[in-house]
Structure 1
């Protein structure tokens, strides 16, 4: 039997185990309204989507809807022709095990990876980035802290998202990326403002590479993906990983990560993150800051480390509901109060009323779980 065949068999076994748990758990809950919501909203979510809900150690719901319209198929063909991408890939059905770009959902994963270094004592949230990256010190940005990098409060004016991504993808080393970030202007002093962007997490990614002597992708595999059994998750094949938005994953893989977060950093008996690290990630660090840049789909949510604070929590309190939605519409979240994690995966650039849709879907799931209590 080949190595490739063995890997496929292992993955299939994992899916079958989760399917078994799914059938055992599904009957306990009435997710009819959840399914109806997915079906009715599919046309405005790019025509395709899949959802998984995890609670009490098992998957209790999974569903996929694929209703690409003729117009959406035609647009996909045009995009494929212009970009040189495979049209079949752009129009493929999205199932719970379909691997697609997750965009800003990456931030949650990257922040968790940084927090493993906080846990082992090799890094502190109060450490300044100039200690590790002298080019930022030379650009008067050396006093930015790791905490500020994780919470988008560096004070750096990052420019547009499109420009930022293009710049990172045009580089061949992490040093080149940091050199480019060093040239960006400051819009406030570090810690005074909140600006959702790629800059902070990319700086933090460079820091852990520098201090560990290991590349970011390998660190992610060793410290997050492997212990969480994320067999189809990676940061792509670009020379420099985009820490804030480069992840490709599946609903099944990402729910493993969310299960770890829900279980205070533990996954299948392995302590991936400390309980304290998870709690620190779920505080609101944007409260009281000058808001310089925030996506419309976030509404009035606050921000922790790599994740949005959805319930208005402030101060040092831990949030009950956290999320890290992506540019293409994927919406993962954890509800600590009701004890569940969920992810809705899709691929669609139209973000019209996305915040309202997220809030409605979340409430429908909450209601379904409350009814069973």
Structure 2
């Protein structure tokens, strides 16, 4: 495991407690926030995802009445989120959000999703957002909400949420060609040095190839993937394949180039043939010029992201459309890395995950290695996930910073029963 897995509601509570405690000095804030997830385990004695007055540590107890907006004697996710926003506003010199009026609704009728989103949008000054959550294997919406200027066709850059699109496209191409993702890239890309040729396609998609992270600007600074990969392969490696975990889209350029050669088509064309065409994703695509940034260059919409995530929820199929066979999907949705690799670079939001599958995060794995929760998130805050155990999948679309919106995303998931 990368790090002990966080209880999502606990994470929000921990962050809030840390912010409240900041007024008492950094050391108290650090102790209250419990970066390893231990804060909630210590204080939420009955494991109900709420903080009772009797459970609250001193730093939270001093602010308990101010945080307990509905006066019910417990602190909910909604109240903790409001407390977080108010604390941030005070620290930044802004105007804190006004305290919530006592609720006249029974707690069972409260709307934690809307409350959390309204708090996020107000505190971050966002233009809007989309929240779509559905049940796996049905046509039932659990949540479908658009805020501000956003609607189903709002087109935004999704940054690293691109990665599982690319992973599926490469896997579909390999399956069609009758090739394994564990083949060395030297089997499809000629002229590589022996150490580079031995890297497997799966290693490039699960961030243990040993190749360096260059960033999107360097990746798109070439006319096509052939030139992009040729430039990358001349650079020093970070470590031997399988020995270092470097979260990066750069190595995915190699996987995409391999797919181009297997298919005999440029990546944009094979991407249209394997992903956007079959799934009807009419507004998802890479920039028209330069090498496609296969680890972070897609633009998409809430509708298209929902359709793609529905295919992930359907284990390779959405309705009558099958993108991957069940066997191929099972192959890419098992835990791969970091295994025994040394972690060099990883997003903070993923430190509570088990690791990477092939092209997607494996948030929680079963003893068999199959991933019970898979996801993909981008630096601008877009996040899509499937929780097979809870029977839920969802898409959260926004343009912000992932660290700023991440606590709200995990709180909403927790409120809906996906932990």
Do Structure 1 and Structure 2 share a fold, with TM-score over 0.5?
yes
Distance in 2, Cα, partners of 1:350 & 1:145: 30
SS of corresponding position for 2:384: strand
Distance in 1, Cα, partners of 2:281 & 2:327: 23
In structure 2, the partner of 1:58 is: 139
In structure 2, the partner of 1:5 is: none
State whether residues 245 and 345 of structure 2, in contact with CA within 8 Å, keep that contact through their aligned partners in structure 1.
yes
In structure 1, the partner of 2:113 is: 34
State whether residues 157 and 185 of structure 1, in contact with CA within 8 Å, keep that contact through their aligned partners in structure 2.
yes
C-alpha offsets along residues 312-333 of structure 1, whole Å, 9 cap, x if unaligned? x266521111110001000110
Distance in 2, Cα, partners of 1:46 & 1:318: 39
C-alpha offsets along residues 26-69 of structure 1, whole Å, 9 cap, x if unaligned? xxx97922122111112355512111122243251211222xxx
In structure 2, the partner of 1:13 is: none
Counterparts in 2 of 1:171 and 1:342: CA distance versus 1, 3 Å: same
Counterparts in 2 of 1:346 and 1:272: CA distance versus 1, 3 Å: same
Distance in 2, Cα, partners of 1:227 & 1:173: 24
C-alpha offsets along residues 61-112 of structure 1, whole Å, 9 cap, x if unaligned? 211222xxxxxxxxxxxxxxxxxxxxxxxxxx22222011111111010100
In structure 1, the partner of 2:370 is: 318
1:141 aligns with 2:196: yes
In structure 2, the partner of 1:43 is: 122
Alignment of 1:288-307 (within 5 A): 288-301=340-353, 302-307=355-360
State whether residues 33 and 364 of structure 1, in contact with CA within 8 Å, keep that contact through their aligned partners in structure 2.
yes
Counterparts in 2 of 1:151 and 1:114: CA distance versus 1, 3 Å: same
TM-score, structure 2 as length reference? 0.69
Alignment of 1:183-202 (within 5 A): 183-202=234-253
In the TM superposition, residue 132 of structure 1 has moved relative to its aligned partner by: 2.0
C-alpha offsets along residues 167-219 of structure 1, whole Å, 9 cap, x if unaligned? 12221122210121112211221111211101221101101112222111111
1:123 aligns with 2:176: no
Counterparts in 2 of 1:314 and 1:150: CA distance versus 1, 3 Å: farther
1:277 aligns with 2:328: yes
In structure 2, the partner of 1:74 is: none
In structure 2, the partner of 1:26 is: none
TM-score, structure 1 as length reference? 0.77
Distance in 2, Cα, partners of 1:188 & 1:150: 16
State whether residues 284 and 315 of structure 1, in contact with CA within 8 Å, keep that contact through their aligned partners in structure 2.
no
State whether residues 284 and 316 of structure 1, in contact with CA within 8 Å, keep that contact through their aligned partners in structure 2.
no
Q: Could you say which structure has the larger radius of gyration?
A: 2
Distance in 2, Cα, partners of 1:118 & 1:204: 10
Q: Name stretches of at least 5 consecutive residues in structure 2 with no aligned partner.
A: 1-107
SS of corresponding position for 1:51: strand
In structure 1, the partner of 2:205 is: 150
**Greater alpha carbon shift after TM alignment, 137-146 vs 149-158:** 137-146
State whether residues 118 and 125 of structure 1, in contact with CA within 8 Å, keep that contact through their aligned partners in structure 2.
yes
Counterparts in 2 of 1:101 and 1:45: CA distance versus 1, 3 Å: farther
For the aligned residue pairs, the C-alpha RMSD in angstroms reads 2.2
In the TM superposition, residue 270 of structure 1 has moved relative to its aligned partner by: 2.1
Distance in 2, Cα, partners of 1:59 & 1:252: 15
Equivalent of 2:381, from 318, 329, 346? 329
SS of corresponding position for 2:385: strand
State whether residues 130 and 142 of structure 1, in contact with CA within 8 Å, keep that contact through their aligned partners in structure 2.
yes
Distance in 1, Cα, partners of 2:352 & 2:235: 27
SS of corresponding position for 2:403: coil
SS of corresponding position for 1:310: strand
State whether residues 366 and 372 of structure 2, in contact with CA within 8 Å, keep that contact through their aligned partners in structure 1.
no
In the TM superposition, residue 154 of structure 1 has moved relative to its aligned partner by: 0.1
